[in-house]
Structure 1
Amino acid sequence: MNRQRISRIAHGGHPIAAPLDDDSVRQLLEHGLPQGDERVLDLGCGGAEWLLRALARHPRLRAEGVDVCAESLAHARTAAVGRGVADRLVLHESDAADFSSPHPFDLVLSVGAAHALGGLLPTLAAARRHLAPGGRVLVGDGFWERTPTREAVEMLGDFADLPTTLERVAADGWTPVHGHVSTRRELDAYEWSWTGSLASWALDRPDGPDRAEALAVAEAHRTEWLRVYRDSWGFLSLVLRRTDG
């Protein structure tokens, strides 16, 4: 099983691929879309759940999503038809770092996909290229709530603590206009859903060729979460505007 397929299955019970509950997603979108008629771009959209929710809530919204996973984009297209928003959604199979568009966007979002763009600041740089004057960026990435172990850093990456993360964002020319730090409940619910969805998929296929691998991946992920990074890793979501306008 490739990584993309594993992720698709693991997010079956938690289509927002980040440790955020439905209310947090709604509030972040409200702050990112103050008018409701914006043009929105999601860099690393996966199954485009952020865009689908935004389109369903705002009938004048137009949205585009970019991702390298054809399976996720196919899922998004089917879901868009089911929710009646397919005529306002355009999806691109492309590397988010290489994507170009002939028009700017009022909201550029990238939540939980910074690793694919090289980290938080490179993600903001990518967003800046697509942002209309006065537009907003909705970004979500990890940070260290407590001093991590070396194993945690090697596993997840070299994040900063929360104050340093915000200082770096400000120094890069951005001003937060809203933010959310995922709660312990959100963080745990996300991990339980990720491992549980993958394990349930495997258990429902007792004779499936990928059963053993899926169970092993779920168990390994659960062990890493509980023993390596649960007590040190957090997740921050920010709605940003350019400080210089």
Structure 2
Amino acid sequence: MNREQMSAIAHAEHPIKSPLDDDSVRRLLDRGLASGNERVLDLGCGSGEWLLRALATRPQLHAEGVDVSEDALAQARSAATDLGVEKRLVLHHMKAEDFTCAEPFDVVLSFGAAHAFGGLLPTLAAARKYLAPGGRVLIGDGFWDRPPSQEAIEMLGDFTDLATTVDRVVADGWTPVDGHVSTRRELDDYEWACWGSLAAWALDHPAHPDSADGLTMATTRRNEWLRVYRDTWGFVSLVLRQTPDRV
């Protein structure tokens, strides 16, 4: 079983692949999709959960998603059909950097995909290419809530503290108009859901050739979370507009 398949199993009970609960996702969408008839682009959309939730509650919305995972996009298409929103959703199987569009988007989303672009600021640079004047970016990424160990840095990456993270975003030409810092409950619920789902799958499928590997991965990831980064890592979601003198 490849990493993508393992990830799909791990996120079965938490399809928003970030430490955000349903209320937080709903509030961020409400702030980012003010009119309800926007054209929305999700860079690294995965199974399209953000777009599906937006489309299901906003009948005038149109959305496009870009992802390298054919399996995740197939799941998004199936879910869109079940919801009756498939005519308002276009999905692109490609790398985000290869995506082009004839007209810009009112809102660009990217959650849990910053690693694919090389970090938060490169992700914002990608979003800027597709954003219409006056548009908004909804983005989520990690930060260090407390000074991390070297092991945590090597495991998760070289984040900064929350204030410095926001300062860098502002210096890059963006103005936060809203945001959300994931709570301890959201962070813990996410980790328990991911590694619990993977462990449960392994226990439920003892004859599967990847069962032992799945259980080992779930145990390893759970221990890394509890012992290495639980008390230091946080997650911030931002609703951004371009600062006028940088537009």
TM-score (norm 2): 0.98
AA at the equivalent of 1:227: R
2:183 aligns with 183
1:215 aligns with 215
Q: How many residues align?
A: 245
CA offsets per residue over residues 78-108 of structure 1, 9 Å max, x none? 0001111111001011111222111110000
**3-state secondary structure, aligned to 1:231:** coil
- For structure 2, which runs of at least 5 residues remain unmatched after alignment? none
Matches within 5 A, 1:1-245: 1-244=1-244, 245=247
C-alpha separation in 2, matches of 1:137 and 1:153: 27
C-alpha separation in 2, matches of 1:130 and 1:48: 18
C-alpha separation in 1, matches of 2:5 and 2:70: 10
**3-state secondary structure, aligned to 2:45:** coil
C-alpha separation in 2, matches of 1:72 and 1:211: 21
C-alpha separation in 1, matches of 2:175 and 2:211: 47
- For structure 1, which runs of at least 5 residues remain unmatched after alignment? none
AA at the equivalent of 1:50: W
When structure 1 is superposed on structure 2, of 54-63 and 200-209 the one drifting more is 200-209
Moved over 2 A (4+): none
Percent of pairs identical after alignment? 68
CA offsets per residue over residues 104-136 of structure 1, 9 Å max, x none? 100000011100111000000000000001000
C-alpha separation in 1, matches of 2:99 and 2:147: 36
Q: Aligned-pair RMSD on alpha carbons?
A: 0.7
Q: CA deviation at 1:185?
A: 0.1
TM-score (norm 1): 0.99
